[in-house]
Amino acid sequence: MPALTKNEKLNNWIKETAEMCRPDDIYLCNGTKEEYNLMIEKLKASGSAIPLKKRPNSYLFRSDPSDVARIEDHTFISTSSKDEAGPTNNWIDPVELKNTMKNLYKGCMKGRTMYVIPFSMGPVGSPISKIGVEITDSPYVVISMHVMTRVSSRVIELLNAGEDFIPCLHSIGAPLDKGQTDVQWPCAPIEKKYISHFPEENLIWSYGSGYGGNALLGKKCLGLRIASAIARREGWMAEHMVILRLTNPEGKQYHIAAAFPSACGKTNLAMMLPSVKGWKCECIGDDIAWMKIGADGRLYAINPESGFFGVATGTSYDTNPMAMDTLKENVIFTNCALTDDGDVWWEGINDDVPSHLIDWKGQDWTPESKGDAAHPNARFTAPASQCPVICKDWENPNGVPIDIFIFGGRRSSVVPLVYEAFSWDHGVFLGATAASETTFANIGEVGSLRRDPFAMKPFCSYNMGDYFQHWLNMGDRLGSKAPRIFYVNWFRKNHDGRFLWPGFSDNSRALKWMCERIDGKVGAKKSAIGLLPVDRGLDLNGIGLSPKNMEELMEVDLKEWKAEIPDIEKHFAVFGNRLPERLKKQLKELAERLG
């Protein structure tokens, strides 16, 4: 086999992988438009890509019903000891897991092409960026990686010059016999799906799924799981956060990084059009932030991705007009419904429910049909550069200086709209105890409360007790230059089950309050749980909410909060002696404040 690159480690890995997976041929990707079109032609010919008449260069894909979301039960962190992976991860001994997976990988690419995708997470050459190489047998993954990461000949040049990379091996696990016709969405049965990470050796092995975070290995696997372990070793942060720039009427800029569990409106927040007069919001990233301390001692963030892999369901001109405008062309849609005139449709896109659709399973659908037309986790994959409010600095290799961290979750009760942490340690406590009611972005029970520290529970690839300590350590290093920390809940409901807060563009009111807090322009009142806006501190001009509504929204019910304590204790107990003393102290102080 001729060497594909001048990077010996890469050539050896390609050779070994080909010997194990036995593809019919091997293709080194360069990220060009021609290459994208070549993949699309292949995907059209196999019936996987459905061209959309209404959106130029856009295609609809339908996945296998067993392959519709991230699969946390089949996601593994394989470290030398179980304790290193910690209580929040599924652990299998690396030798055992590699043996199991090598058996699965044996001959798994027969009848298919093995694509080698060199990509950069972050602007090529940024001191915060990292290079990965994904090997995959899925042309859908190739086009998605073109959008979500930077695939280019410049990355190949860096590799040729000897730059190191993170190997990311992926197979859909569906070899083709000679003459066998392919299915629309080839993948392995659920019991054979493995999304495996070996953080001690910076290695990813994924098998059996072609969907999103299971298959586009730059995103959750490298961007968060492997990166979180590297970040801890190297003293930086890899977080599940949107990054946005807010500019006040005087032109002062604030940079905010916010962590919310999946499907809590992160993409909506990242592209928000503020309702507060004179304020501007620009998007830098909608899912992942990599942050390093700069020469001036502040924390600088980049978005390591170059596209949005957003939940389509519920996205509309009301909820996220900027996302809608991003989706006009060059988009990969997955598991949306198809209209008779060749466009995509999903629940919540508008008020017009068509009288006939083809649903995400490829079946005829009418409003009388039983199930949803689009899958609740239907997705769009779109270039970030197409977003009308993308910040001009979104690809700045130096990143943007973060002023504010926000944590939050989806809570229909208990948690008020917005409050500020008393201190860095208290803010870390808020992140470490963040909880949300579950949705469809991950497979599991919908609607139950799960503690999702820093929205990183599915993505932190080492013992989360140590991860909390890493946050405390970063705060110690940042000192007075540390971002201020806030907690929000856009989802509180009244006793009739109606949302108390309009959300979306009105969330800018909470963000404005945070900016004015850091500028010392507005006061705050101390409560048992943190610092709350004082009367009229929150700009409610023109929002039309009654004082009673606002009271309910901001209420801190000591009884309800006391009831949270045993749950937090239970949540913390899982980390045993890895739980930092400083967080135990925060819990004790909260209990004391609650009385």
**Interface contacts to ligand OXD, rule CB under 6 A:** 70, 212-213, 262, 287, 309, 441
CA distance 291 to 242: 12
Q: Which does 441 bind (CB under 5 to 8 A by kind): Mn ion, ligand OXD, none?
A: ligand OXD
Q: Which is nearer to ligand OXD, 211 or 513 (CB)?
A: 211
Q: Verify binding: residue 134, Mn ion, rule CB under 5 A.
A: no
Q: Which does 533 bind (CB under 5 to 8 A by kind): ligand OXD, Mn ion, none?
A: none
CA distance 448 to 434: 14
Could you tell me the smallest distance in angstroms from the CB atom of residue 102 to ligand OXD? Answer: 28
Q: Which is nearer to ligand OXD, 70 or 170 (CB)?
A: 70
Q: Which is nearer to Mn ion, 67 or 287 (CB)?
A: 287
Could you tell me the smallest distance in angstroms from the CB atom of residue 57 to ligand OXD? Answer: 23
Helix, strand, coil tally for the chain in percent (to 5):
30, 20, 45
Q: Which is nearer to ligand OXD, 174 or 271 (CB)?
A: 271
Residues 6+ apart with CB under 8 A from 17: 105, 114, 135, 169
Phi and psi at 376, nearest 5°, equal -55, -25
Q: Which does 337 bind (CB under 5 to 8 A by kind): Mn ion, ligand OXD, none?
A: none
Q: Which does 425 bind (CB under 5 to 8 A by kind): Mn ion, ligand OXD, none?
A: none
Identify residues 186-245 at the interface with Mn ion (CB under 5 A). Answer: none
Whose CA is closest to 405, among 281, 501, 518? 518
Could you tell me the smallest distance in angstroms from the CB atom of residue 27 to ligand OXD? Answer: 27
Q: Which does 483 bind (CB under 5 to 8 A by kind): ligand OXD, Mn ion, none?
A: none
Residues 6+ apart with CB under 8 A from 68: 211, 335, 375, 377, 443
Phi and psi at 80, nearest 5°, equal -60, -30
51-59, 286-294, 361-369, 564-572 -> range binding Mn ion (CB under 5 A): 286-294
Q: Which is nearer to ligand OXD, 262 or 275 (CB)?
A: 262
Q: Which does 70 bind (CB under 5 to 8 A by kind): Mn ion, ligand OXD, none?
A: ligand OXD
Could you tell me the smallest distance in angstroms from the CB atom of residue 351 to ligand OXD? Answer: 27
Could you tell me the smallest distance in angstroms from the CB atom of residue 468 to ligand OXD? Answer: 20
Phi and psi at 333, nearest 5°, equal -105, 140
Phi and psi at 272, nearest 5°, equal -65, 145
Q: How far is CA 512 from CA 82, 167, 276, 490, 522, in A?
A: 44, 42, 8, 15, 10
Tokens of 516: 């004015």
CA dihedral 516, 519, 524, 527 (to 10 degrees): 110
Q: Which is nearer to ligand OXD, 313 or 469 (CB)?
A: 313
Q: How far is CA 107 from CA 4, 10, 22, 182, 192, in A?
A: 21, 20, 5, 16, 15
Could you tell me the smallest distance in angstroms from the CB atom of residue 118 to ligand OXD? Answer: 23
Q: Which is nearer to ligand OXD, 229 or 288 (CB)?
A: 288
Tokens of 195: 């999304």
Tokens of 450: 């799960």
CA dihedral 148, 151, 154, 160 (to 10 degrees): 130
Q: Verify binding: residue 564, Mn ion, rule CB under 5 A.
A: no
Q: Verify binding: residue 286, Mn ion, rule CB under 5 A.
A: no
Q: Which is nearer to Mn ion, 305 or 506 (CB)?
A: 305
Taking residues 349 to 388 in sequence order and writing x for each that binds Mn ion by CB under 5 A, - otherwise, the string is ----------------------------------------
Residue corresponding to tokens 């009418």: 366
CA distance 76 to 92: 7
Could you tell me the smallest distance in angstroms from the CB atom of residue 309 to ligand OXD? Answer: 6
Could you tell me the smallest distance in angstroms from the CB atom of residue 583 to Mn ion? Answer: 24
Phi and psi at 560, nearest 5°, equal -60, -40
| 47-60 exposure pattern, b = at least 16 Cβ within 10 A, e = fewer | ebbbebeebeebbb
CA distance 357 to 417: 39
Q: Of these residues, 21, 187, 221, 264, which one is catalytic?
A: 264
40-48, 280-288, 400-408, 514-522 -> range binding Mn ion (CB under 5 A): 280-288
Options 287, 420, 425, 516; binder of Mn ion; rule CB under 5 A: 287
Is 264 one of the annotated active-site residues of the chain?
Answer: yes
Which residues of the shown chain bind Mn ion in the complex (CB under 5 A)? Answer: 287
Q: Give the active site residues.
A: 264
